Amino acid sequence: MLTGLSIRDVVLIDTLDLEFGPGLGVLTGETGAGKSILLDALGLALGARADSGLVRDGQPQAVVSVSFEVPHDHPALDLLRDNALEPEPGEPLVIRRIVKSDGGSRAFVNDQSASVGLLRDLGSLLVEIHGQHDDRGLLNPRGHRALLDAYGRIDTLACEGAYRDWRTAEAKLAATREEIELAARDRDYLQHAVAELAKLAPQPGEEEELAELRANMQKGARLAEDIAVAGQLLEGSEGGLSLLRQAARRLERIADEHEKLGEALAALDRAVIEAADAEDRLAEAAEALAYDPARLEEAEARLFEIRALARKHRVEPDALPALAEDLAAKLHAIEVGDESLAALETAAHDAHRRYAEEAARLTDARAGAAERLDAAVAGELAPLKLDAAKFRTVVESLDEAHWSAAGRDRVEFEVSTNPGAPFAPLIKIASGGELSRFILALKVALAEEGGATTMIFDEIDRGVGGAVASAIGERLHRLAEGAQLLVVTHSPQVAARGNRHLLIEKSHQGLVTRTSVHALGEDRRREEIARMLSGAEITDEARAQATRLLEAA
């Protein structure tokens, strides 16, 4: 709900602060008083194109701020969250727009810089402005299906789920078919590659193991003689280890005879242990570096085969086992492709059938809702002096290429304004106050389903009076019970229905002209309605008639 409008230096308005409440608010004033300035200022705050002509003469900039109370579940809050601009709980949503005299502009949401595009998106969620050139809201066919669904309380969730399942099944079928077709073109290659890899059967890490084995055997061939001589010098009855042990046994018999002999024995014992360890290490090295020409040739041949196959397939040697599994899986997919495709085709067909059933239910429900809506709108047309007009809701099937989660229907509101005239979109055949009255009839019939909670009607009563103006006022008052309405009007019958009355006046002080807006109390309101009834000179009869209108409202 719009709660406040603040204007600084916009055209004829230097300073203006207005507060708004729920229900029906009416704005009146003589022709040329500046009612359009208020709507231009509000439109500017809601993302309209910035025009330096809006800046008051002699001022560097114009500033417009609007504030809204937004329920916690309002879609505008989702948009603000997506842009990190959500107000604190309990705080109003404040939108501010600055237009400079050189044409530049800036936009703010909750005192944070924002794009004009975001302001437009917010404005479409917060306010509907219905004027003589409006092409949004009810006049936009893209929103008619959702409005009809809301009017008919039509639940689309089952259809949305069926649509997702169908599209998922179709996508899986298409992807599998493409994979099989691609693989089938390479059948001969796959068969050869799988057989080649299966024959070689490379194992993870095998290339590194073979390279290490070859390197060790090559070292062994070079070091074999030295290792053998070293082993001979240590081993046997005449080897170094045997001689050390013999010396230790001799010293052991005489070690107690002198301190130094004991130390010598201890040193010999350590030497024996170290020599024995060296002997073990030499044996291990000899085994690890054992040179076997046949085995070396075999290891080198397999290593070269693995590396050659890796180069052929442009992968690392360690990736060959995974490649073998992948190619085998592709070959298997070709061999069982017909079976898997048949299963997926069946699943896609079943999903399509379920979607078609759910979409058909929506079509039937929409057809029923369309009949009820047409009857409801028809009941509103005659009192609004549109008794020659006809309204219909078109529900027709779309091509399958345009089916969606919302079903397979195109919905559009159409009217015929004269007997025998063809039906056509509302915006193409209605104009002026007639257009606004059609919108009002729709709004009342739809009970404000799917629309913004703040609506502005600009001169909806243009060209009508008497009973028609009374009918318009009664319907605006009824519509305002569930929404906030602001109406710019020249009709006393409409003005009398308002919960609040704002008077727009123009004044002159020397060469300076200003527009001001005043909230009217009971007495001034009666006087303004009397002026609207009688013109420049307010008569007692006009005052009495104004009183009757207010009492009847």
Residue, of 331 and 427, whose pLDDT is higher: 331
Q: Do 374 and 393 touch, CB atoms closer than 8 A?
A: yes
Specify the amino acid at residue 472. Answer: I
Give every strand in the sheet of 512-519, ordered side by side: 127-130, 454-458, 484-488, 24-28, 500-509, 512-519
pLDDT on residue 222: 65
pLDDT tops 70 at residue 27: yes
Could you report the per-residue pLDDT of 176-225, keeping only the tens digit for each?
Answer: 888 777 777 777 888 899 999 999 899 888 888 888 877 777 676 665 65
pLDDT on residue 349: 96
* pLDDT (mean) for 268-294: 74
Listed in sequence order, the DSSP H helices in 255-404 are 259-288, 293-313, 320-335, 337-381
Phi, psi of 230 (to 5 degrees): -60, -40
Could you report the per-residue pLDDT of 493-536, keeping only the tens digit for each?
Answer: 999 999 999 999 888 887 777 888 889 999 999 999 999 888 76
Phi, psi of 23 (to 5 degrees): 85, -155
Task: Look at residues 515, 550, 351 and name the one whose alpha carbon lies nearest to residue 15.
Answer: 515
Task: Look at residues 350, 359, 354, 356 and name the one whose alpha carbon lies nearest to residue 156.
Answer: 359
* pLDDT (mean) for 327-343: 79
Could you report the per-residue pLDDT of 147-190, keeping only the tens digit for each?
Answer: 899 888 899 999 999 999 999 999 999 988 887 777 777 778 88
Provide the percentage of residues in the chain whose pLDDT is more than 90. 29
Give every strand in the sheet of 93-100, ordered side by side: 13-19, 2-10, 61-68, 93-100, 105-109, 112-114
Q: Do 84 and 49 touch, CB atoms closer than 8 A?
A: no
Angle at 446 (CA atoms; ends 444, 452), nearest 5 degrees: 90
Could you report the per-residue pLDDT of 430-463, keeping only the tens digit for each?
Answer: 555 677 778 888 888 886 555 567 888 887 777 7
Q: Do 507 and 518 touch, CB atoms closer than 8 A?
A: no
Task: Look at residues 145, 136, 159, 84 and name the one whose alpha carbon lies nearest to residue 115.
Answer: 84
Confidence of residue 135 (pLDDT cuts 50, 70, 90): very low
Confidence of residue 226 (pLDDT cuts 50, 70, 90): low
pLDDT on residue 552: 83
pLDDT on residue 232: 62
Q: What whole-number distance in Å separates Cα of residue 443 and Cα of residue 248?
A: 117
Q: What whole-number distance in Å separates Cα of residue 86 and Cα of residue 123?
A: 15
Task: Look at residues 490, 422, 483 and name the one whose alpha carbon lies nearest to residue 456.
Answer: 483
Q: Do 165 and 157 touch, CB atoms closer than 8 A?
A: no
What SS3 state is found at 455?
strand
Determine how β-strand 409-416 pairs with β-strand 2-10: unpaired
Q: Do 109 and 85 touch, CB atoms closer than 8 A?
A: yes
pLDDT on residue 229: 55
Q: Which residues pair with 516 in a beta bridge?
A: 505
Could you report the per-residue pLDDT of 471-505, keeping only the tens digit for each?
Answer: 888 888 888 887 888 988 888 999 999 999 999 98
What SS3 state is found at 144?
helix
pLDDT on residue 369: 94
Q: Do 409 and 420 touch, CB atoms closer than 8 A?
A: no
First vs last C-alpha separation in the chain: 23
Could you report the per-residue pLDDT of 367-402, keeping only the tens digit for each?
Answer: 999 999 999 999 888 888 888 889 999 999 999 999
Q: Do 20 and 2 touch, CB atoms closer than 8 A?
A: yes
pLDDT on residue 156: 93
So where are the chain's domains? 187-335
**Whole-prediction pTM:** 0.60
What SS3 state is found at 392?
strand
Q: In sequence order, what are the residues at sequence separation of 6 or more whose Cβ sits closer than 8 angstroms to the Cβ of residue 249? A: none
